[in-house]
Every structure is written in structure tokens, then in C-alpha cells.
Amino acid sequence: MASIKVKFRPSTVADHEGTIYYQIIHERKVRQLLTDYKVFSSEWDENRSMVTTTQKSERKSFILSIRERIRWDIERLTKIDRKLDANGLIYTADDVIDEFNRYAHEYSLFNFMESLIARLKQNGKIRTSETYRSTLNSFKKFLASQASKDDNRQDEDIMLDCITSEIMEAYEAWHKKRGVAPNTISFYTRVLRAVYHRAVEDDIIEDRNPFRKVYTGVDKTVKRALPLAVIKKIKALDLSLTPTLDFARDMFLMSFYLRGMSFIDMAFLKKSDLKNGYVTYRRRKTGQQLIIEWTKEMQMILDKYPENKSDYLLPVIRNHGINERCTYRNTAYNINHNLKRIAEIVGVSIPLTLYVARHSWASAAKAKGIPLSVISEGMGHDSEATTQIYLASLDTSVVDKANSLILKSL
């Protein structure tokens, strides 16, 4: 086994910070592993081989963070040494340092998540990769906000085994202070938990359950469904002089007509998906196949626009070979922006978005007698998997009949 000690090298310049380094001795060979931790001589306790501070020190939080990071480093070095020793192979102090540096590069949170994001994209799971990217960016902003000005850690990564319950509680509190909704905070936290558990499954780290004190559930949101009377008012609006509003209204109604189809599924509907009076597609979110009867109401909207020159059915993604997901996102943003203007016209107080069409159809379907197990409270179900089972077992003609009743009510 190697001997691992924490050492301090004072600066040769008066009143300048010195450097913390680790001394690793194995088979009588001494090696040094430099760190980027810098403290003043007055902040180093030679007897304890550790940084020290006082209650009144302005650098107390900084010194305590250095102390914690040293503890993590020594723990990691010890773990590496034990692993190399357990293998029964001859190794050197340089091997311990090389493994430490390799671990720091490959198994930091940022690098690990980047590798997962790349793998998700490669496997065609674009939406999931985007949620991972969003979470990573959020956590980077959090770490930057926590770094004090004097420790120069604005862009610093964090090791996977350094993620603690204290850090996750601070991350949750940071979001709350910024006014982020509980479900959004929980969303980010659940993604980080999935990443952490992936590292545990890959035997990279031991599970210390850092998420035990933060909320990872999903609160029921305020219902965003519109009654049929309001849907009628939106349908009856004369928006011929404002094409952007007209298009937003049409896509809102199309989502409603298509049994609350999400906009991403609408945008990527292919012309080949419409056959013999039925649209057959798979939900991008779940992969579940759904079949919807194509009605005259849907065709009337489609007939308003020139035929799409691309392979897509609806006039959302019109050009082949461009960044289609970027086009979809930009179009969705513009539609939701214009829907808020439409909401003002009809006197709707709730934020009107494409997602409201989904909730509204579910609410109308419930009123027309569709089983709650299928609708699962306006698609805001606690378990989507359970809802999928019911939908899969239900004869699609039953839902189409209900849809026909809803459309006739308009």
C-alpha cells in the first residue's frame, strides 16, 4: 500500500499564497501530485497537515471548501491505491497518480454527462439528450453562482463522488430563490439522479444517496383546460388579416382535433402516416403507436395551406435538409407567443399554449364519457405507463367516436 500525505509549499514571494500538493510514497519512491488549491501560510496547520481558518476570517467559506475537496481527493487516492493493490499486480506511485488524473478527466459530472448526451444522440434519443443538456447547463450555472470571487472556480467541474446531499439541497434552494416552479426543480433533480445512478451501476462511484433530502416528485399542476365554449370562440375568430395569428389558431385547433396530439408529434407527421382516412404515428415521448381517424375538420385546416414540399404532412417543417428540430422549436415558440395574443382577444386568463389544446381535449373527452383510466385526468396522469396500457387495450374506434362527438359540439 502507498503512503499518501497532504503537504504545503509556501510561496517564495512574501504575502503570496502557497500550493497544496499530495506526497505519494510507494516502494520507497516518492512522487508529488500538485493541486490548484492555494492558501496563505497562516492558513496551513503543519501539525495536522490541513488547512485551517478562524470564525472571523473573510475566507472561511473558501478555506472550508478547500478542506472538503482535499478530503475527497485523499479518499479517491486511497480508493485507487486499494484497488491497484487488490489486483495483485505490481504498480508504482506514478500509476496511482495516472489513475487519479484519468478519473478526474473521465468521471467528473460534466464529462460524464457529455458522454451520456453523445450516446443518447447516437442512439436517436434526441429529446432525452436535450433534457440532459438543459440539466447540465442549469447545474453549471449553479456551481458558478456558488463559487466565491477569490477562489476562481467559476468554470470548475465537480467529481461524481463529490455530489453530496448538501450540494443537492443547495441546488434546490438556489432554484427556489430564483422563483423556479417545484416541478421544474424536480425535473432537473431527477435527471441528475438518473446520471448519478448510471455512474453507480457502472461501478464508478458508491451510492451515497445524495438525493434523499430533495424533492423528486411531481406536483399536480393547475388545470389548463378550456371549456368547449371557449374553443368555439377561438375557432370562430376571423384572423384572415393576421396570418401569424391565423396559423397559431389553426395549429392549436389541429392539436385539439387530433385528440390532443403534442406539437412535436404534429410537426413530424409524415404524409405517409395518413392512409385510408387514418393517421398512424408513434409518440416521440413514449414510442407508443396511436391511430386517429382523419376528419373533415382536420382536412379543412390542411387545405388552407399550400401543399408541403417536404415529406411532412403539416405546414410546420417545410424545407428538407435543414435543422428540423430547430425549426420545430422556433415554430412552437412563435405559435405559443401568438396564442397569448389570441387569449387576450377571447378573454382567456390562463396562459394559452399548444399544451392547453391537449388538456382541453382530455377534459372534453372526460365530459363525453371516456373512462378516466384512459384520459388520466387530462393527460396529467401520475403514471404515463399505466395510461399507455389502458390506451393500448382500448379499441381506437371508441375514442374516434368520442372525438366525433366532441367535434360536432363545436
| pLDDT tens, residue by residue, 224-250 | 778 899 999 999 999 999 999 999 999
Cell of 89: 499486480
Quickly state the pLDDT bin for 398 (edges 50, 70, 90).
Answer: low
Q: What is the pLDDT of residue 305?
A: 95
**Percentage of the residues of the chain whose pLDDT score is greater than 70:** 90
pLDDT at 402 over 80: no
Q: Say if residue 403's pLDDT is above 60.
A: yes
Q: Residue 289: is its pLDDT beyond 90? A: no
65: pLDDT confidence band, cut at 50, 70 and 90?
confident
What's the confidence (pLDDT) of residue 341?
95
Confidence band for 364, pLDDT divided at 50, 70 and 90: confident
3-state helix, strand, coil in the chain (%, to 5): 55, 10, 35
Q: What is the pLDDT of residue 397?
A: 62
Compute the mean pLDDT over every residue in the chain, rounded to the nearest whole number: 86
Residues 337, 339, 340, CA angle at the centre, nearest 5°? Answer: 70
Please compute Rg for the chain using Cα positions: 29
What is the predicted pLDDT for the residue at 220?
A: 58
Q: Is the pLDDT of residue 382 over 90?
A: no
| Torsion sign over Cα 132, 316, 260, 231 | positive
Q: What per-residue string of b and e applies to 243-260 under the rule 16 or more CB within 10 Å gives b? A: eebbbbbbbbbbbbbbbb
Q: Is the pLDDT of residue 389 over 50?
A: no
What are the pLDDT digits (tens) for 206-218? Answer: 898 999 999 988 7
Q: Is the pTM of this model over 0.85?
A: no
Give whole-number Cα distances, 346 to 176, 220, 228, 350, 352, in Å: 34, 27, 13, 11, 11
Report helix, strand or coil for 174.
Answer: helix
Q: How far is 153 from 144, CA to CA, in rounded Å?
A: 7
Task: Give the per-residue pLDDT at 383.
Answer: 54
3-state secondary structure of 267: helix
Question: Which pLDDT belongs to residue 394?
Answer: 46
Tens digits of per-residue pLDDT, 247-273? Answer: 999 999 999 999 889 999 999 999 999
Q: pLDDT confidence of 20, banded at 50, 70, 90?
A: very high
Spatial strand order of the sheet with 29-39 comes to 3-9, 18-26, 29-39
- Nearest residue to 407 via CA among 314, 299, 272: 299
Mean pLDDT of 75-82: 89
Q: What is the pLDDT of residue 278?
A: 94
Nearest to 208, CA basis, from 309, 72, 337: 72
Average pLDDT over residues 14-42: 93
Model pLDDT, residue 391: 37
**pLDDT, mean of residues 334-363:** 90
Structural class in CATH, domain 228-408: mainly alpha
Task: Specify the pLDDT at position 377.
Answer: 38
**Residue 265: what pLDDT?**
92
Write down the pLDDT at residue 390.
34
Least confident of 22-26, 264-268, 277-281, 363-367: 363-367
* Residue 202: pLDDT over 90: no
pLDDT recorded at residue 222: 55
Residue spans per domain, the chain: 3-90, 109-201, 228-408
